[in-house]
Amino acid sequence: MFLRLFFDLTKSGIVVFVLVTGAAGYAMSHPFQTSWDLGHILATFAALYFLSAGSFALNQAQESLIDAQMPRTAKRPIPSGKVSRTQAWILGFGFVAIGAMAAILVNQTVFWLGVGTVILYNLPYTLWWKKHWAFGAVPGAIPGATPVLIGYAANQPMILMPEPIYLFLLMFLWQMPHFWSLAIRFKDDYEKGGIPVLPTRVGTERTLYHMALYMFAYVATAVAAPYFTSARWAYAILVLPLSAVVVWQFWKYFRSVYGGEPKTRWLPFFLWTNLSILIFLAAPVMDRWIQHAVNMAQVEAALGNERVGEER
């Protein structure tokens, strides 16, 4: 019971996603010539975990009154009366403090990215953008995209380079079709909670056109991977076919809405987009390390041939 409340309060499912995307950034930036440092890895993931879990606990304390008005969120720990707002505030601030201390052990870039993400999510997004702006999900996608940067910055503090920019763009662009498909599905809930998400302001049909813009930009970014980072076999085998699948799933979802069945086709598109972001982030990591293994094998073979030649 206690663990279930804790996991619900800290949105453990999203926290796991944060850790996975952070791991992709970490593996992408890890230098080949450097051994894996367990302490460094643990500090990085402690920072990601405690900052994100603490931020979500604070968010639930901030939005408990709104959550109570929405059927989808009314059973969360605070509106259901199982956890008090004070307890959520204490847990949230405590976890953020622990996460900040772990982040500073990694490096200053990770610290400022992590703390900045919490501030951006819990202040302008939660208090203003989400409550007053139909397009609040767009700037709100910035803190949602930073975990992969935090993971990358753990090894390479210089993040204004093609690889981290590519990873950030993928995470940023993915969130609009992801969130707006949820907003269409739970449009009535958001109306009851007074949250001006795009479907409640401009309608479902117009929301789909906005989704299409970001969805095609997202897929185009994934397809453009060779211009940013390593792209070889994993890119050809995974990214290209999955990009076509995502476009096809969106087209079927788009047609279902105009056919009057938006609640039956949203889930396949939602699940495929979620799978796609994991694959799109993993593919360049796989290509990078596979190519490194191939290069090392070639070097070993060349050295072996030289030794054989010398012995002769």
Render pLDDT for 204-235 as a digit per residue (tens, 0 to 9): 889 999 999 999 999 999 999 999 998 889 99
How many residues are recorded in the chain?
312
Question: Rounded to whole angstroms, how far apart are CA atoms 141 and 164?
Answer: 16
Strand, coil or helix: 240: helix
Find the mean pLDDT for residues 60-76. 94
3-state percent helix, strand, coil for the chain, nearest multiple of 5: 80, 0, 20
The pLDDT of residue 256 is 85
Render pLDDT for 106-129 as a digit per residue (tens, 0 to 9): 999 999 999 999 999 999 999 999
Render pLDDT for 154-208 as a digit per residue (tens, 0 to 9): 999 999 999 999 999 999 999 999 999 999 999 999 999 999 999 999 998 899 9
Does residue 304 have a pLDDT over 70? no
DSSP state of 232: S
Find the mean pLDDT for residues 130-136. 95
The pLDDT of residue 51 is 98
Other Cβ atoms within 10 Å of 259 Cβ, number = 10
Percent with pLDDT over 70 in the chain:
94
The CATH superfamily assigned to 1-159 is UbiA prenyltransferase (1.10.357.140)
**Residue 2 pLDDT level (bands cut at 50, 70, 90):** confident
What is the reported pTM? 0.93
Question: Rounded to whole angstroms, how far apart are CA atoms 97 and 50?
Answer: 8
Question: Rounded to whole angstroms, how far apart are CA atoms 129 and 137?
Answer: 8
Domain ranges across the chain? 1-159, 160-312
Other Cβ atoms within 10 Å of 48 Cβ, number = 31
CB 193 within 8 A of CB 69: yes
Q: CA angle, 278 as apex, 146 and 75 as ends, to 5°?
A: 75
Strand, coil or helix: 300: helix
**Residue 261 pLDDT level (bands cut at 50, 70, 90):** low
Nearest to 218 by CA among 280, 167, 173: 173
**Residue 304 CB burial class (10 angstroms; 0-12, 13-18, ≥19):** exposed
The pLDDT of residue 262 is 55
